[in-house]
């Protein structure tokens, strides 16, 4: 939940700066969104949320796009980068995109994924932060190679 709260904070802060939304407005939106995620009457499987990771890791989609926006507005997207790191290592044998991503990562390395899929500078702040979060998740045993 800490990471989710952090993602909401990072994205909300960037959206407020970019579009002039009030912090309260964004806080309420995030609260409602989080309540839906925690509602046990709503069944929504991880496979649906995580499927097609190549699309979701593209430069303007739901992970890299908000992280780039956060950096644009001087917000360090630490929690978004944890989510990005997890998405890079998401595996589902029934998901073609996941299999393609896994093969690319294993054969060509994370830098290739960041460059070709995410379209980010591997030596820039976002590239370095994502690689740092990958190492953190490995240390915690949450992702394996």
**Is 114 part of a structural domain of the chain?**
yes
**Is 49 part of a structural domain of the chain?**
yes
Per residue in 83-98, pLDDT (tens digit) is 999 999 999 999 999 9
Per residue in 16-36, pLDDT (tens digit) is 999 999 988 888 888 888 888
Per residue in 44-96, pLDDT (tens digit) is 777 777 789 999 999 999 999 999 999 999 999 999 999 999 999 999 999 99
Count of the separate structural domains present in the chain: 1
**Is 111 part of a structural domain of the chain?**
yes
DSSP 116: I
The alpha carbon of 43 is separated from its chain's Cα centroid by a whole number of angstroms, namely: 22
Cα(first)–Cα(last) distance of the chain, in Å? 25
pTM across the whole model:
0.90
Other beta carbons within 10 Å of 67: 30
Quote the CA–CA distance of 74 and 57 in Å, as a whole number: 21
**Phi and psi dihedrals of 14, rounded to 5?**
-65, -45
CATH number at residue 13: 1.10.1040.10
**Is 46 part of a structural domain of the chain?**
yes
What range does the domain containing 18 cover?
2-139
Quote the CA–CA distance of 47 and 37 in Å, as a whole number: 15
**Is 96 part of a structural domain of the chain?**
yes
Per residue in 92-132, pLDDT (tens digit) is 999 999 999 999 999 999 999 999 999 999 999 999 999 99
**Is 144 part of a structural domain of the chain?**
no
Quote the CA–CA distance of 8 and 105 in Å, as a whole number: 28
């Amino acid at each position: 939940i800490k990471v989710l709260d952090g993602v909401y904070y990072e994205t909300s802060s960037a959206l407020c700066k970019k579009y002039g939304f009030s912090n309260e407005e964004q806080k309420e939106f995030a609260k409602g969104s989080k309540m839906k995620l925690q509602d046990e009457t709503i069944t929504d499987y991880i496979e649906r949320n995580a499927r097609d990771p190549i699309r979701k890791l593209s430069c303007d989609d739901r992970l890299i796009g908000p992280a780039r926006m956060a950096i644009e507005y001087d917000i360090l997207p630490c929690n978004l980068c944890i989510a990005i790191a997890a998405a890079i290592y998401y595996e589902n044998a029934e998901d073609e995109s996941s299999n393609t991503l896994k093969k690319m990562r294993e054969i060509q390395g994370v830098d290739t994924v960041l460059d070709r899929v995410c379209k980010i500078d591997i030596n820039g702040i976002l590239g370095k932060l994502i690689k740092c979060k990958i190492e953190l998740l490995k240390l915690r045993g949450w992702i394996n190679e």
